[in-house]
Amino acid sequence: MIPSRRGLMVAGLAGAVAAPGASRAQGVWPSDRPIRIIAPFAAGSVADAAIGPMLPYLAAQLPGARFSLVHQQPAEGYAALAQAAPDGFTIGIVVTPGLQVGSIEPGARYSLRDFVYLGSILEDPSAFFVTADSPLRDVAALVRAAQAAPGTIAVGTGGIGTDDHLLMVEFEDAAGVRFRHVAFAQEAQIVAALAGGQVQVASMKLGGNLGLVSAGRARALASAGPRRYPMAPDVPTFTEAGYPIDTRNVVSLVSPAATPVPVLARLELILAETMRNPAWIEAAARLRLPLAYQPAAATRQIVLSADAALRALWTRHPWR
């Protein structure tokens, strides 16, 4: 099912730079055929907020290219991307941990082996939020409260299997505590429930909710990344509190497996040049997009490490 389709025709911008060392791939993309970008997530998500503004800068590295951005539901989108012809005319945007979750849960229609990773473009770690006046001042206080009253502290998330829910499950597993899970359809509902006292903790993306912190409406207890988030350096990590949890929302670009090496090299270079473009970096900063470029090899390692951790978690505590 394709709930929305946005055709984006972006010609090469002035000053576009032809990629050196990729001459064998120069003729792969004729101008009369668009490059399809499959986006297996809802319009309006952080990944969607990044890819739309990024496309003109991406096209600047491929003069004459046209892109067609296709939104699909996650399961259908990932499956369509896995089954696409590896000819350079279909690439996709994948999001960790959603990519891994869809391949782990029963009924999976794709495998991580179906993709080649071109590089990652942004990161936004999940975090635990409490109200500004909450007695839960830090992670240690949360653990003590949960141990004193198992299953009573309510944690709001965006639903079972989301990155924010997985943070809750991983923290329960690491700290040996149990919460009362409350799932919501929209993040705004989680925020309202936190303010109204229906939940004591909100598990949400850190970067996307820093406005709550600056407005004094919430406090971030800790973020689930390997290091402190650059946009919120005062927020400690769960690792600092003794719980090494990494549930970063990592947005990456991929190509179907078996895509020819010259095409992959060209795509990787196009992405790298785009992410180094000062104009794009400045535009992303204005949009408050948490850019975090990683090249192909590093992105593959992030994806596989997250997959290993989530498969181990599924073995211990299946989330469905």
Mean pLDDT by 10 residues, the chain (320 residues): 39 34 48 87 77 91 86 92 94 95 94 97 96 97 98 97 95 97 95 98 94 96 94 96 94 96 94 97 92 97 96 92
Q: Which of 252, 306, 318 is nearest to 118 (CA)?
A: 252
**Phi, psi (5° rounding) for residue 4?**
-155, 150
Assigned superfamily of 125-223: Periplasmic binding protein-like II (3.40.190.10)
Which residues partner with 37 through β-bridges? 69, 91
pLDDT reported for residue 25: 44
- List residues bridging with 249 in a β-sheet: 124
User: Residue 157: what pLDDT?
Assistant: 98
In the chain, CATH 3.40.190.150 sits at 4-123+248-316
For the chain, where do the domains classified as CATH 3.40.190.10 start and end?
125-223
How far is residue 49's CA from residue 55's CA, in Å, rounded to a whole number? 11
Instruction: Give the position of tokens 């990456």.
Output: 252
Amino acid residing at 167: L
For 63-120, what is each residue's pLDDT tens digit? 878 889 999 988 899 999 999 999 999 999 999 999 999 999 999 999 999 999 999 9
* Contact in structure between 238 and 252 (CB atoms under 8 Å): no
CB atoms within 10 A of CB 173: 15
Q: Are the C-beta atoms of 204 and 219 separated by less than 8 Å? A: no
Tell me what pLDDT residue 27 has.
56
Q: Are 253 and 259 in contact (CB under 8 A)?
A: no
Token pair belonging to 76: 């259908």
- 245 within 8 A of 170, measured Cβ to Cβ: yes
CATH number of 4-123+248-316: 3.40.190.150
Q: What is this structure's pTM?
A: 0.86
The contacts of residue 283 (CB under 8 Å, 6+ apart) are 53, 57
Cα distance between residue 153 and residue 173, in whole Å: 15
Interstrand relation of 291-294 and 115-130 (parallel, antiparallel or unpaired): antiparallel
